[in-house]
Chain A
Amino acid sequence: MTATRPSTASAGTARQLLDNLRHALRGGEQAIRMAVAVFLAEGHLLLEDVPGVGKTTLARALAASVEGTVGRVQFTPDLLPSDLTGVTIYRQESGTFEFHPGPLFATIVIADEINRASPKTQSALLECMQERQVTVDGTSHALPEPFMVIATQNPVEMEGTYPLPEAQRDRFMAQVSIGYPAEESELELLAAGGWRPGQTTPVLTQAQVTDMIRHVSEVFVSDAVRHYVLALVRATRQHDAVELGASPRAGLQLLALARSVAALSERDFVIPDDVQEVLVPVLGHRLALTRSARSGSTTAADVLEEIRRTLPVPR
């Protein structure tokens, strides 16, 4: 709060970005914040929620707020990997093979209902997310910078879906749900009507985004906070209710997102509160609970909350 010295430009633009999204989504403050934070931390976001609460709206509004291209793919069981990556076509006129980039070649890619696609397509997407490049017919094509995938999935409709395995979920930096808006927000929404593309105009240039991303990576993390992150991650591995704990990558991403959140709070160092704020979004979808824990209707969020409550904050 006090004693921060973020570059004022990026602080201002971050605020603008957040305002833009709030305007579009109405409610879902935490989801908005996480979406922006993940974007600035160069991660990928998994939005899991019931239909109609604004998953797609959030994704599209974010994409629209940033100067850049947007790719949108509606995942279906018959979607093929090449539908995402693009294909190489032989041009008879020139007698050469020409690469036609797919929807992945965009600043922000919206993967709607990712759990509806076949595991084959899913893993193709996830590989691209990790590698940040597309390999088609032996040729690698780099994806643009910045690059973010916002995947949505519907937890209720289980018929004909292919839930992402834990290993795959690990590639998403964070998973958030939007939740139903508060009463006033919903009333506002009814009054103003739903969001339409075109309502939101880009507020960030590519250069600004790059600048902000660099700024986030420079946010200071003290040894104490680093130890705290480590302790949290390790605690998930030792917890009784957890079958598979958080990976080292999870720790890295926890720290990265905490940095990003700190920057959004216009602070140039990470405090334990930042780590706690992103704890469930980052680790929640990565923990595989034991069968008995699941049957006891314990959720990963419960486990993480318990860990947070028992682990002393560094000083």
Chain B
Amino acid sequence: MIELKHITKEYSSGEGRTLALDDVSLTVRDGEIFGIIGLSGAGKSTLVRCINLLERPTHGQVFIDGEELTAIGRKRLLLLRRNIGMIFQSFNLLEQRTAEGNIRFPLEIAGVKRRAAEARARELLELVGLSEKAESYPSQLSGGQKQRVAIARALATGPKYLLCDEATSALDPATTDSILQLLRRINRELGVTIVVITHEMRVVERVCDRVAVLDSSKIAEEGEVSEVFSFPQSEIAKQLIIPELIRSAEGGGGKKLRLVFRGESADRPIISKLAIECGVAVDILYADTKRIDGKAFGHMVISLPEDGEEKVKKFLEGQKVSFKEEI
């Protein structure tokens, strides 16, 4: 379990102070994939670096499995870092080492014998599907391959945790998907707890169990992904999750309802039924369906005629469709 308690990080530059994190507390449970999403400059990267103390928080405490990282000595910290792998947006591979050499690197630091390290590296290359690239240098690999090597390298010492700092932001959508699938597999098969930092909604949708939304150095919202996605409370979460919806809801007059379809309600023709049973004409302003965790999940914004409001709400309640009035 990773626990961050009242983390504050201040940077003092020549002119003044910048508050990168402002009293942030969160808990990452064992075995889950936890997402931290926010716009650039929200403090995501600083936050993830506070977990393994690449950045030392100005105030606050970091606990890993109950041990306070912010209170231990340097030697112990270096040792504990072997239990927390990390991957990066720009991969950060050693350019002068082969793929295999890169994966051996953390093992060399941990003092593993050369032969054992080689065997482990081969094993990991196989896990990430790059066995035939063992002798390739990073300059000979594509972005997706580089990130796979980086993942293998991060897992070399058998860590319990894996931190991903915008790990897919430099990759195209197809490669992003394959990397996300790999992360999901690592989570399921090896039981590695993963923290994912991203500004891409689809990354959270695809792999995360829970998510925290970070906005101007603070946590704006936190919860199960399906919950936060259905009813984003904070302005920033709405902006990130349903940007088109916000825009469409802003224009035009009349009453607007935002409907959220989850599970089976997403598979039924609710709107046709509504039109027939209530005898009202609804105007669809926005609609979107996604699959999150294998379940259909939809958003719709409809505009209502003045007189049909009560009827429609009653009908929707009967159909067990969640809705919320917008503006």
Chains A and B bind each other: no
A residues touching B (Cβ–Cβ < 8 Å)? none
